[in-house]
């Protein structure tokens, strides 16, 4: 085998052909399953899409490059299960465009971050990370307290609906109102967003001030939704441990 490889290296065109064949086989192995992805991924009955406010927070999360340091993919390794919780399911990212899986971790994986810390903790952490985690190397994001630009929210929901995310026309039309409503507890707008997305969503002033809608509201709402869009992973883990 080594002699064959040595001889192949002396033939430039033969080596190129070998590389193409090897890359083609690898590509087919990776791409072919995507043609039957609808048959291989079972969507949980309780799976919901992100609310408009959470979706806006996700866009800011991507804009600020947070994905470069925080993966959202818990692998089925004992130490990861102990630290982060149930391993990630493909169905949990079915509505994500783009999906944020990965294995690069400068900071911890955040696939199960929702509910782990309070809103106040997240706000303090984003404004000054070292105020709550002295050894943190994360940069500060104090500008997230500025008002949230909601002008493109309806268009974003409409685009995602065309890609298969279950946003109906009513959700698209009410995107801006729902974003504001989710940050205004005890309001009619807050009740309306619960009616559209379910009673399980968090409706509260994420940045502590219900009088204004900020980027901080959006980012914290998104972070609190991670791992909370469905209980499928926890149900699966419970079934495996019985």
Phi and psi, residue 200, nearest 5°: -75, -10
Contact between 220 and 123 under an 8 Å Cβ cutoff? The reply is yes
For the stretch 151-210, pLDDT in tens is 999 999 999 999 999 999 999 999 999 999 999 998 899 999 999 999 889 999 999 999
pLDDT at 39: 59
State which residues form the domain around 18: 2-40
Q: Do 101 and 178 fall within a single domain?
A: yes
Give the model's pLDDT for residue 224.
Answer: 97
Q: Are 114 and 233 in contact (CB under 8 A)?
A: no
Note whether residue 45 is domain-resident: no
Q: Is the domain of 153 the same as that of 225?
A: yes
Position 1 pLDDT exceeds 70: no
Q: Is 162 inside a domain boundary? A: yes
Is the domain of 36 the same as that of 57? no
Instruction: Examine the pLDDT at 86 and tell me if it is beyond 70.
Output: yes
Q: What is the per-residue DSSP string for 174-214?
A: THHHHHHHHTSTTSHHHHHHHHHH-TTS--S-TTS-TTS-B
**Would you state the structure tokens that stand for residue 129, as one six-digit string?**
């990370």
Quote the mean pLDDT of the chain.
Answer: 90
Q: Do 12 and 69 belong together in one domain?
A: no
Q: Give residue-wise pLDDT tens across range 13-64.
A: 777 888 888 888 988 887 776 666 565 677 888 999 999 999 999 999 999 9
pLDDT at 122 over 80: yes
Question: Do residue 6 and residue 76 come from a single domain?
Answer: no
Report the candidate in 167, 171, 164, 182 with the shortest Cα–Cα distance to residue 224. Answer: 182
Phi/psi-derived region of residue 19, left when phi > 0, alpha when psi is between -120 and 50, beta in every other case: alpha
Q: Where residue 137 falls among pLDDT bands split at 50, 70, 90?
A: very high
Task: Tell me: do 21 and 107 sit in the same domain.
Answer: no
What is the mean predicted confidence (pLDDT) over 126-149? 97
Looking at the 3D structure of the chain, how many domains does it have?
Answer: 2
pLDDT(238) > 90? no
Collect all residues with Cβ–Cβ distance below 8 Å to 114 and sequence separation of at least 6: 223, 224, 225, 226, 227, 228
What pLDDT does 36 receive?
A: 61
Give CA angle at 55 (129, 86), nearest 5°.
70
Residue-level pLDDT at 27:
83
In contact, 123 and 140? CB cutoff 8 Å: no
Determine the pLDDT at residue 95: 93
Q: What is the DSSP letter of 130?
A: G
Over range 99-108, report the average pLDDT.
87
Contacts of 89 (CB under 8 A, 6+ apart): 232, 233, 236
In three-state form (DSSP H/G/I as H, E/B as E, the rest C), the secondary structure along 75-116 is CCCHHHHHHHCCCCCHHHHCCCCCCCCCCCCCCCCCCCCCCC
Q: What is the pTM of this model?
A: 0.84
Residue 47 lies in a domain: no
Could you tell me if 137 and 227 lie in one domain?
yes
pLDDT computed for residue 70 by the predictor:
94
Q: Are residues 36 and 59 in the same domain?
A: no
Which two tokens mark 7? 């001889």
| Phi, psi angles (nearest 5°) of residue 214 | -120, 170
Nearest to 122 by CA among 43, 24, 225, 242: 225
């Amino acid at each position: 085998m080594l002699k064959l490889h040595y001889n192949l290296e002396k033939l430039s065109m033969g080596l190129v052909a070998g590389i193409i064949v090897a890359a083609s086989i690898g590509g087919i192995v990776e791409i072919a399953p995507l043609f039957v992805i609808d048959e291989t991924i079972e969507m949980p009955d309780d799976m919901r899409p992100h609310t408009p406010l959470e979706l806006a927070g996700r866009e800011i999360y991507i804009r600020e490059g947070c994905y470069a340091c925080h993966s959202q993919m818990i692998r089925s390794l004992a130490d990861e299960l102990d630290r982060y919780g149930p391993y990630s399911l493909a169905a949990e990212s079915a509505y994500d465009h783009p999906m944020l899986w990965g294995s690069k971790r400068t900071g911890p994986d955040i696939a199960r971050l929702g509910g782990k810390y309070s809103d106040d903790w997240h706000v303090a952490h984003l404004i000054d990370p070292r105020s709550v985690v002295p050894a943190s190397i994360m940069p500060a994001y104090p500008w997230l307290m500025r008002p949230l630009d909601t002008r493109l929210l309806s268009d974003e929901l409409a685009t995602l609906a065309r890609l298969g995310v279950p946003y109906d026309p009513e959700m698209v039309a009410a995107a801006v109102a729902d974003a504001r409503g989710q940050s205004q507890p005890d309001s009619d707008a807050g009740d309306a967003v619960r009616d559209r997305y379910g009673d399980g969503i968090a409706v509260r002033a994420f940045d502590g001030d219900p009088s204004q809608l900020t980027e901080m509201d959006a980012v914290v709402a998104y972070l609190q939704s991670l791992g909370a869009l469905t209980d499928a992973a926890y149900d699966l883990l419970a079934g495996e441990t019985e």
